[in-house]
Amino acid sequence: MQNDTKRIGRYPIRFFIFILYFKFAARVILTIRLITKAVSGRVLCPSLFTVICAVCKFCCILLSFAAIMKLPFYKYQGTGNDFVIIDNRQLGLKREDAAHIRQLCDRRFGIGADGLIYLQERDGYDFEMVYYNSDGRESTMCGNGGRCIVKFAHDMGLGKDEFSFLAIDGPHRGRILPGGIVAIQMKDVDHTSHRGDHYVLDTGSPHYVQFVKDIKAYPVVESGKSIRYNDTYRAEGINVNFVEELARGQIFVRTYERGVEDETYSCGTGVVASAISYFYEKDAGTSDISVKTLGGNLNVRFDLHGPHFINVWLTGPAELVFRGETTI
């Protein structure tokens, strides 16, 4: 499915803008001729006059194209966690343009997404992943976003099924598996803090994990917001996960995400944090944990090396939703 995000009246407006630039260029030329007559008593020589006309017309065309520059984008989702992805290898879009990112992620006035990802060139890697939350701020690692950008890199024809890429939390590996499944290796988790009724750990992004009952009816947004904005976490923020065991080795996770400031259908780093916390909480005895989210099913695997969780893999579906163009 292709969505060109065409706006009503776009082409008449562009034509009108072009005419305005052309009229401006004509006025500049006329002014130059009048000034020349007044100063020297003669008109410009034909050759110089032709050059000036050509330069003015060229500038006019450049301004016209600048006014209607199209930006290609791709919308991907991984278990309902959706992202606008832009191939920024040649575009050179600014990383600090928060207002533009917020507009693109707006679900009513933009494309709509939980976040935006730039794919960029990086020496020593297949690509670099630069991730922004929907509030426009560059953020920490996004697990589902990582899976989506690996699928995007594959779809763009980078010519392989295994990738090495750099994100804000360090190097990662990604794999394309049969059936639209994508796996990425997450960062090692060196420390997990058990604080009363919850766990706090960093899986590329900071997470708070609490085990609850009747998760389908649990007030995720209200409870998550109160934790995210309490005195401990207000300044830096934290993602808040609520977890219920469904069966041995199977959990259901719902997440309130900072930066989105709402519940999302799935959170990759939150799923990993919840699986590791579950390993401790329930003495799971397994390092292969199935995770259900509102947006679909994921799998987390890891190796335990003393108190450290290494070789951590997040696996699940990732797919293109649509592609299109917007104007900048």
- Annotated catalytic residues are 142, 267
Strand-pair partners of 162: 175
Helix or strand (DSSP H, E) at 271: helix 268-281
How far apart are the C-alpha atoms of 176 and 160, rounded to whole Å? 9
Give the residue from 120, 65, 134 showing the smallest Cα distance to 92: 120
Under 8 Å between Cβ of 309 and 171 = no
Residue matched to tokens 């072009």: 18
* Contact (Cβ atoms closer than 8 angstroms) between residue 113 and residue 148: no
Token code pair at residue 187: 């960062």
How far apart are alpha carbons 259 and 137 in whole angstroms?
A: 8
User: Concatenated DSSP letters for 35-66?
Assistant: HHHHHHSSPPPHHHHHHHHHHHHHHHHHHHHH
Short-list 152, 185, 172, 154, CA closest to 302: 185
Q: What are phi and psi of 296, to 5 degrees?
A: 145, -170
